[in-house]
Chains A and B, each alone.
Chain A
Amino acid sequence: MKLITAVIKPHKWEDVRAALETVGVTGMTVSEVSGYGRQKGHTEVYRGAEYDIALVPKIRIEIVVDSDDVEVISAAIVQAASTGRIGDGKVWVTPVESVVRVRTGERDEGAI
């Protein structure tokens, strides 16, 4: 079992969700996050005063998947989230030790 974590541009979220649906992903956790990478922040001007806003809003998607599905799902996210411009985000995969479904008590692969 693996945890796929993706940080993407907010306006690509609908595309990524649609792509995940086509490869059979039925559930995920999504959060609104902020951060910065090579894109850096941006500048806002209020009454002539410039503010450097370091943090850029992003969407973080977390999906626990069967190890065999990792490549397909990761590829689907990368393809759907890409604009080719700086700030598109990242996708990374980490191992997961165990999973329990709260309602039934099913464990590991059966709980995914």
Chain B
Amino acid sequence: MCYLSREQSGLMTPLVVPTSAGDTAWLLISAALVLLMAPGLALFYGGLVRSKSVLNMMMMTFGATAAVLVVWVLGGYSIAFGDDVAGGLMGNPMQHFGLSDLVSGKADSWLSVPVILFALFQGLFAVITGALISGAIADRARFGAWMVFVSVWTLVVYAPVAHWVFDFSREGHTGGWLANSVGLIDFAGGTAVEVCSGASALALALVVGRRVGFGRDPMRPHNLTLVMLGAGLLWFGWFGFNAGSALAANHAAGLIFATTLCAGAAGVLGWLAVERVRDGHATSLGAASGMVAGLVAITPSCASVTPIGSLIMGASAGAICAWAIGLKYRLGVDDSLDVVGVHMVGGIVGTLGVGLLGSPLAPTAVAGVLYGGAPTQLGRQAIGVVAVLAYAFVMTFIVGKVIDKTMGFRIDPEHEVSGIDLVVHAETAYDLHATAGARSGPFGH
């Protein structure tokens, strides 16, 4: 990701990079900001479902945070950022087991920040990407099946894709094929995070199937104030996601801060404009969704465009995603919280957008077609989108099917109707009635 490759930055990276206090401080903060996106997403998703399944929705994000981080430390980081062992397809899965080789700091010479911090920063990207998928299977998935799925998915889908997209080659290290052979520019994860989570969500929605009453019952968001709060936290955390991906406290991080801000703002306006014209009302859910759509699109392109470019990028993503979320009803796919319509579609807009709106003055220094550049970069971006989309969809479908056939992915339809929170977690989110009953069982249990 993330860090600019030597060719892109136009600088020759010295063999030994001294550790920078400023860069390290910014990456520590950025990693914590990305972690804050997890509860942000939990609130965003939690508010969107009905009150009988809000806890399960939030638990899928919290569960993913725990499971993905553990898997990442044990094997995910090695597959993503270990020395390539399969022609650019995956890193050596045992190289950084338990991050043991990063403890002493001897391996820090290729970055201006501690590599162990880089490793966990990347792990938090895996967390967000995995948690995003849960929006496609709201209200109906067994919690154990989800935890197994997201753990396996991290190793089989996310880590290889992160290797392709984010692992740049350097002296003594060979990275992934999209970053190095193809020349894809995906600064903070338009393909690896957004298209990957969206395509995986589509596959998993197909495996798990539609909710009981999909398209018939009013499945209204039960708490839009939670959605707005969650969206706000996501935007805040996104500065760590994008500007943190500079892996340095420098000019690039500053520009990325600007483009991330602009794209979120323009995304709100783009989505609301479509709603106002099509439905007659500018809605709060539309504002929150448009913001996310704009941020999704700027994720791959944040270091490639001007502020004006980021406004165009955000507004286009807001408008296109506002239109795209209606497709699920026509296709009959219950992608419950529109992971495909927002993240996959927004990720495609942003990734291709680099080839259209890229400015030669921006850190990645590639001119898009609209800036008089050749269409070559647009082609590279398209290869990245197609490769990640196809791989994530197929592999997620297989992993999901195996879990469905062995463990079973869905809860009982009767329990789904009565509410998953009570059945799966033995809890209810809101105690709205004081007459709920008396305590049973021994005290001090």
Contact = CB atoms under 8 A, between A and B. Distances in A.
B285 interface: yes
Interface string A47-85: 111111100000000000000000000000000000000
Interface size class, chain A: 10 to 19
Interface stretch (B146-154, B237-245, B276-284, B394-402): B276-284
Contacts of A45: 275, 279-281, 283
Nearest to B329: A49
Nearest to B323: A48
A48 B218 contact: no
A48 B220 contact: no
A48 B325 CA distance: 8
A97 interface: no
Contacts of A46: 220-221, 283, 285
Judged by DSSP, the binding face of B is loop
Contacts, number: 32
A72 to B, nearest CB: 35
B338 interface: yes
A20 B326 CA distance: 50
B218 A52 contact: yes
A49 B326 contact: yes
B357 to A, nearest CB: 26
Interface residues of B, number: 17
Nearest to B342: A47
Nearest to A51: B218
A46 B48 CA distance: 10
B218 A47 contact: no
B322 interface: yes
A93 to B, nearest CB: 29
Interface of B: 218, 220-221, 275, 278-281, 283, 285-286, 289, 322, 325-326, 329, 338
Interface of A: 44-53
In the A-B complex, the 6 residue pairs with the closest CB atoms: A51-B218, A45-B279, A48-B326, A47-B325, A46-B285, A46-B221
29 contacts: A44-B218, A44-B220, A45-B275, A45-B279, A45-B280, A45-B283, A46-B221, A46-B283, A46-B285, A47-B285, A47-B286, A47-B289, A47-B322, A47-B325, A47-B326, A47-B338, A48-B275, A48-B278, A48-B279, A48-B322, A48-B325, A48-B326, A49-B326, A49-B329, A50-B279, A51-B218, A52-B218, A53-B218, A53-B220
